[in-house]
Amino acid sequence: MNLLFELSKEHNALPRDEAISCLKAEEVFYNKVASNEDVLVIKSDAAHDKIKRIAERLSFTFFIDELLFSCSTSLKEINKCAEDNAIYSKGSIAINYKNRSTYTDSQPIVKTLAEVYTKDKPVDFNNPDLEMRVLITDTNVYVGLKIAEVQRNKFEKRKVQYRPFFSPISLHPKLARALVNLSCIKRNETLLDPFCGTGGILLEAGLIGARVIGSDIEEKMIEGSKKTLDFYNLKNYKLICSDIGKINNYVNSVDAVVTDLPYGKSTTTKGENIKSLHTRAFQNISQVLKKNGLAIIGLLGKDMLTIGEKYFSLLNNYEHKVHRSLTRYFAVFQR
């Protein structure tokens, strides 16, 4: 079957790449059918419970659907595709839509679909047996049956101001989860954050079943991370108060590294030059990351990428605008 990922469009490539990384982490075999800023479409025989597991991981996707068809916004073509793609499952149905087009009217499209798909099915908007998802863009209409919804409100509830340890420098949980997913970490594998700060990355990795190790040079951050991880009932973690240069005294080998390096404004470098700190970080991370493992690392500027390339292969890089005067870069490196 074809699966449709309704992407959030919060970044150009990150939502798509997060979904692909989750497919790899959950060992779902697939062929990519189509990809753009709105959707990722794949062909896969994955069971529904596996798809729902992926939905539980994702942060930059809204829904995963079984794609019935996609076509242009022409009502004539929509009607023909709907007639050609019957739904044989019994029960009630509801049609829900998202219109991302700047000029296409959604109502005639929904009406056309309803005329086909509700001829022999009762409509139930409150508790339908089948939920049809319709995604409308400027050029295409995607029609599918919902398999899983990403509960994105859970990330808002885990924002740092609602956690037991607060620091304004923390990543948004949604972004932290996406970075964790980019590492392709599997359940029960070990993920290291050697600059763990308030523990936000550790939290998101722990919630999807990874074993987590966090270290930080500041004792108060280690204490704060412990409060956070305990608050969310995570058990499988290890916290270390250590400089990055001594991390291999405590850690032998990890499956993935996800971290946001300090940049000396709101985060401390203990007076160390940024370039020196980044060099030591890359060098020591390379010593504990397993061969072919992925390191997702937040950097202050593109010039820091060249430091990382001395120790790793650079696979990808994502710009993230924090505010008008600060842009962060999240790089995907492979050892």
Q: pTM score, two decimals?
A: 0.93
pLDDT tens-digit series, residues 211-220: 999 999 999 9
Over range 285-297, report the average pLDDT.
97
Nearest to 127 by CA among 172, 80, 93: 93
Nearest to 83 by CA among 143, 147, 128, 5: 143
| Residue percentage of the chain with pLDDT more than 70 | 97
Task: Identify the three-state secondary structure at position 263.
Answer: coil
Q: How far is CA 63 from CA 15, 71, 124, 154, 317, in A?
A: 12, 19, 20, 15, 25
Q: How far is CA 168 from CA 218, 276, 330, in A?
A: 16, 25, 19
pLDDT tens-digit series, residues 128-153: 999 999 999 999 999 999 999 999 99
Q: How far is CA 85 from CA 78, 274, 325, in A?
A: 10, 58, 50
- What integer pLDDT is reported at residue 3 of this predicted model? 98
At CA 167, angle to CA 242 and CA 259, rounded to 5?
Answer: 50
Residue count (the chain): 335
Q: Which residues pair with 63 in a beta bridge?
A: 6, 149
Using CB atoms within 10 Å of the CB of residue 120, give its burial: 0 to 12 exposed, 13 to 18 middle, 19+ buried: exposed
> Which residue segments constitute the domains of the chain, with CATH numbers given?
2-149 (3.30.2130.30), 153-334 (3.40.50.150)
pLDDT exceeds cutoff 90 at 287:
yes
pLDDT tens-digit series, residues 81-132: 999 999 999 999 999 999 999 999 999 999 999 999 999 999 999 999 999 9
Computed over its alpha carbons, how large is the radius of gyration of the chain? 22
- What integer pLDDT is reported at residue 5 of this predicted model? 98
At CA 40, angle to CA 36 and CA 44, rounded to 5?
Answer: 150
pLDDT tens-digit series, residues 234-281: 999 999 999 999 999 999 999 999 999 987 554 555 667 888 999 999
pLDDT exceeds cutoff 90 at 6:
yes
- What integer pLDDT is reported at residue 57 of this predicted model? 98
pLDDT exceeds cutoff 70 at 205:
yes
- Cα–Cα distance, 61 to 58 (Å, whole number): 6
Over range 211-235, report the average pLDDT.
96
Nearest to 205 by CA among 223, 190, 220: 190
pLDDT exceeds cutoff 70 at 16:
yes
Supply the mean pLDDT for the chain.
Answer: 94
- What integer pLDDT is reported at residue 71 of this predicted model? 97
| Residue-by-residue DSSP string for 13-76 | SHHHHHHHHHHHHTT---EEEEE-SSEEEEE----HHHHHHHHHH-SSEEEEEEEEEEE-S-HH
Backbone φ and ψ for 66, nearest 5 degrees, come out as -85, 115
Task: Identify the three-state secondary structure at position 180.
Answer: helix
Over range 71-82, report the average pLDDT.
97
- What integer pLDDT is reported at residue 269 of this predicted model? 56
- What integer pLDDT is reported at residue 9 of this predicted model? 92
Over range 293-303, report the average pLDDT.
93
Q: Name the pLDDT band for 170 (thresholds 50, 70, 90).
A: confident
